[in-house]
Amino acid sequence: MKSKIPKVAHKILDKPMINWVIDVARKITDEIGIVLGNGKDLVKELLDENVKIFEQKERLGTGHAVLCAEQFLDDSDILILYGDVPFISYQTLNSLIEKHLKDNNSSTILSVKLEDPTGYGRIIKNEDKSVKIVEEKDADTFEKQIKEVYTGIAVYKGEQLKEALHHITPQNAQGEYYLTDVFEHLEKVGVVELENETEVIGINDRIQLAQAEKKIRNEILKKHMLNGVTIQDPDSTYISVDVSIGHDTIIYPQTFIYGKTTIGENCEIGPLTRIKDCIIEDNVKIIRSECELSRIQKNVSIGPFSRLREGTELQENVKIGNFVETKKTKISCNSKAQHLTYLGDTYVGRNVNIGAGTITCNYDGKKKNKTFIDDGAFIGSNTSLVAPVNVGKNSLIGAGSVITKDVPDNALALARTHQINKENWVLKKDSKNVEKGV
């Protein structure tokens, strides 16, 4: 990858490659072990504490990598996946495991037929029904013509795999311990052929990374469209694998939806919108805005040019308008902040109007403080609410105020100097300048 970042930490649709693999493995088992080599500390940051980590200090081949996790191998069945093959599906793996158990195989491997099998190990099926895999660099001219290749994914009986690993040797062109050599030491090896080669795309450089993302992105978009979602311009729309979208929602061009986002029915999202890890209910409209780690209830309108940061919760019928930013803020039903506003560490009650230019001054230089605005309050334009501060129910804040003390219910609060008009001041100033020759 020519990168300081380990290959499996590079992102596909904003999700690290290794997490694609872990997430599908989680659907099969909670017992997951990962063998890490270079850049292990960076990869560890992407893993949860339930993943067991093993280190391969020397890069001596795939067989050696598995042997580094020998203590993870027991008498149960072992599924081996690869961190740079991110698109394998649960359905495929489940079928592979079912075949393995049904046939009582020592190992069952996943194969695929490729028009151009260059770079892959070829599957050699012998007359005695044994299976051998020959790596590209060790294959002869005849073997290189075989189009059925080994994907690297296989299920093994743990004890037999452990024993076979101790019989392999580095007698090959690479001088490495190939995991594929274990099949010569196993009693019964089965093969399951995969139809969709996209699932076993391997990634070794940034060109392949871009090509792989494009393929899987198209498949994700097709799935949503077949499920009743309108995507106006698939070429400019990016939706990650963990996103769910309800029927009759429209996704407009230049929209990016990432993470574990859920979007309800009859929504309008975009254009020029980015959403990550949000829960969005039905009938929500978001235009030209950014939303992250937020919860948005029904019939909410957001944008254009709004930014919802982590911890934002918008209840039903809320309106968030242009150039409004929120963070760790809850806005209750039927309230609105339409223009040029910052709300941080704030609670806003029902039926509140936040005037243009309002800001909550939530940071005092040492800690964040909270602002509480009760139901029915009206916050005049260009108001600064210096937290910690409470604004009472049905109260009114005069435009241009700097509020530093609590405001009681039903009160009018004004915190600004009196206006002074000096009549003819401009004319007098101009005449003095003329006398001075200015």
Contact assessment for residue 212 and residue 233, using Cβ atoms and an 8 Å cutoff: no
Nearest-Å Rg of the Cα atoms of the chain is 31
The closest of 308, 353, 314, 350 to 327, measured between CA atoms, is: 308
Which helix (H) or strand (E) element contains residue 78?
strand 77-80
If 0-12 CB within 10 Å is exposed, 13-18 middle and 19+ buried, where does residue 395 land?
Answer: buried
Report the catalytic residues: 339
In sequence order, the β-bridge partners of residue 109 are: 154, 191
Give Dmax (Cα) for the chain: 114
Contact assessment for residue 327 and residue 312, using Cβ atoms and an 8 Å cutoff: yes
DSSP 160-184: HHHHHHTT----STT-S--GGGGGG
User: Distance of alpha carbon 392 from its chain centroid, rounded?
Assistant: 40
Contact assessment for residue 355 and residue 383, using Cβ atoms and an 8 Å cutoff: yes
CA angle, 425 then 428 then 433, to 5°? 125
Quickly list H helices, 8-89.
Answer: 17-26, 40-44, 62-67
In this structure, what are the phi and psi dihedrals at residue 59, rounded to the nearest 5 degrees? -90, 85
CA angle, 14 then 20 then 23, to 5°? 125
